[in-house]
Structure 1
Amino acid sequence: MERCLFEQLKTLPFWCVPLFFLGCISILKTSLGLLNWVYVSFLRPPKNLKKYGSWALVTGPTDGIGKGFAFELAGKGLNLVLVGRNPEKLSEVSEAIKAKFGKIQIKNVVVDFAGDLSEGIQRIGEAIEGVDVGVLINNVGISYPYARYFHEVDEQLLKNLLKINVEGTTKVTQVVLQGMVKRKRGAIVNIGSGAATVIPSDPLYAVYAGTKAYINQFSRSLYVEYKKSGIDVQCQVPLYVATKMASIRRASFMVPSTSGYARAAMRWIGYEPCCTPYWPHSLMWGLISILPESAIDAYRLRFSIGVRKKGQLKDARKKE
């Protein structure tokens, strides 16, 4: 068989031989990539998060993905530091977790990420003093109420996007990281967005996409900085999840519930610096990557303009 193959190659023009081998390499690379995807998506065992520490800190834990993470982490036996702006909602989530999982220690820290952030970070630092925080989930974040052109973004929204999505995540990471460095272990998960990583552009959500691009590069750089210190930093990139922020109420195969996403996300903590934990999302990412950027840009622009029109109509009805 091998001799027959080489005999056939000899009959080909000289310039065809390099193309043949390049094709073989391409097929091999694609096959290995597919096998690796199957392994990491379905077969690779999750890490024992307790090896990082006995406590986990979650920002934005009262709703959405953050709430899903809080329940999943408690289910793994980790104690929790829950950081959010609403003390009543923090208490509700804490009680629900304790009712479900029993003897889980929970500390609630009230921080308004759009308010006095310096004071809030100080409260977090005081709450985790001497506490073995091994896992940090930076989930807190906001988006636009609905799509709008950049010149339509008001000053308050612009300020909140930068302060909550960028400054908040950065400063929480810094205060928690100090203890991880001393203990030489830890895992940090920063929630990014497909708006900055999967699609080539996100028109009419420019500032939001920009803040999430920062999260991606921030996470990748920290991954390299602290890998040898025993600290695993990761940016998780969800696409659409059934949350209030995404204005999606019902979960589906391609749009998981918050608990469904968090369950998938737990399996990836401590591995790659950037990932899409929910496997149907990774399939969509693969499909998007082979499409022309101009086609994706055009589709996304039409989609966002439609969202903008619906949002404007809703605002107009409120004023009537």
Structure 2
Amino acid sequence: MPIPIIHWFYASNLPKYLQPSSSGKTSWALITGASDGIGLALSDQLATAGFNVLLHGRNEAKLTRIQSELARAHPKREFRTIAVDASAFTTADINRIAAAVAELPLTVLINNVGGTAPLSSNFKHFECMTPTEIQALYSLNVQFPLQLTCALLPQLTANKQQPTLILTCGSGSQIGQPFIAAYSGCKAALHAWNRALHAEQATAGSAVEVLEVVVGPTYTQQLQKEASIKPGLTMPTAEVMARAILARVGHGHRSVTPYFWHALQGALLYGLLPAGVVDWVVARVLLPSVEVKKE
């Protein structure tokens, strides 16, 4: 698997998603899972770039606190919040989000929410998962981004002259990794959907860019629970990952691995070694963090 180095020769084209200053409007970005980690870092950096931000999260009190902190850091920007549990949402919740952005000049949708939060442990044997955990994981990582994008796509494609962006955070685990089997399956489904949607919009001549960013291990709050995992060159902070993500937008790519060291690591690991060897290596690395089976 060659390293797609061409991605690093392009400068970020994020400003193309801002409304022209002559319009008198400020573009809005909706970021799901924006109350911590990569989502929070993206919110901060998009505000710096000139966007108003609608923050989605599960905990209303936490969202309100984050909104206040961002407003203090970016006094010229506007921030709004909407609380929906993506692991247990309803059609009414999707409609409520759509209504919240209906009158806004929305030009960026970032499907960031996801992960393994519904599980009792980040890494566990598949047969130890409960039906409730599997359903919540699928809802959080697949159903929510698909249904939200479907609801907002007409708004994002309405203005043929204004470029818009649908950015979905995928995962390197989409290739299939032990002890996160259900999560890997969810991310593989998201990868296939993004590819299909990108092709649909390109065929239609739409002004919306559909982009998947394949996010590798990032030192977020979720992984900080694991004592065996530490930040480093191949485990960047959320702020570093967010900068890498926004540096890759605006050039019509379908899927990119935004962080260079993850791209290099993936190319060397999955491109040079037999699949069985890779699975063995990954399993041994993750094994110390796997939840012990209950007899």
Same fold (TM over 0.5): yes
Residue 154 of structure 2 is aligned to residue 173 of structure 1: no
Percent of residue pairs identical:
27
**Matching residue's letter, 2:213:** Q
For 2:208, the equivalent position in structure 1 comes to 231
Structure 2: which 5+ runs fail to align?
Answer: 20-26
Residue 226 of structure 2 is aligned to residue 246 of structure 1: no
Residue 161 of structure 2 is aligned to residue 196 of structure 1: no
Residue 101 of structure 2 is aligned to residue 101 of structure 1: no
**Structure 1 residue 116: deviation in Å?**
3.4
TM-score calculated relative to the size of structure 2: 0.87
State the secondary structure of the residue aligned to 1:236: strand
Residue 286 of structure 2 is aligned to residue 286 of structure 1: no
**Structure 1 residue 304: deviation in Å?**
3.6
**Matching residue's letter, 2:249:** I
Alignment of 1:56-95 (within 5 A): 56-95=29-68
**Matching residue's letter, 1:44:** Y
Computed over aligned residues only, the root mean square deviation of the Cα atoms, in angstroms, reads: 2.2
How many aligned positions are there?
A: 276
**Structure 1 residue 48: deviation in Å?**
3.3
Q: Distance in 1 between matches of 2:230 and 2:126?
A: 29
Which deviates the most, 85-94 or 209-218? 85-94
Change (3 A) 1:306 1:275: same
For 1:163, the equivalent position in structure 2 comes to 139
Q: Distance in 2 between matches of 1:164 and 1:60?
A: 10
**Structure exhibiting the larger radius of gyration computed from Cα positions:** 1
Which deviates the most, 209-218 or 174-183? 174-183
State the secondary structure of the residue aligned to 1:229: coil
Of residues 222, 228, 233, the one that matches 2:197 is: 222
Instruction: Tell whether the 8 Å contact from 1:52 to 1:187 is kept in structure 2 after alignment.
Output: no
Q: Distance in 2 between matches of 1:253 and 1:191?
A: 20
For 1:3, the equivalent position in structure 2 comes to none
Residue 254 of structure 2 is aligned to residue 273 of structure 1: yes
Residue 11 of structure 2 is aligned to residue 45 of structure 1: yes
Structure 1: which 5+ runs fail to align?
Answer: 1-29
**Structure 1 residue 255: deviation in Å?**
1.2
Alignment of 1:107-146 (within 5 A): 107-143=80-116, 144=119, 145-146=121-122
Moved over 4 A (4+): none
**Structure 1 residue 300: deviation in Å?**
2.0
Instruction: Tell whether the 8 Å contact from 1:49 to 1:135 is kept in structure 2 after alignment.
Output: no
Instruction: Tell whether the 8 Å contact from 1:113 to 1:120 is kept in structure 2 after alignment.
Output: no
Instruction: Tell whether the 8 Å contact from 1:242 to 1:256 is kept in structure 2 after alignment.
Output: yes
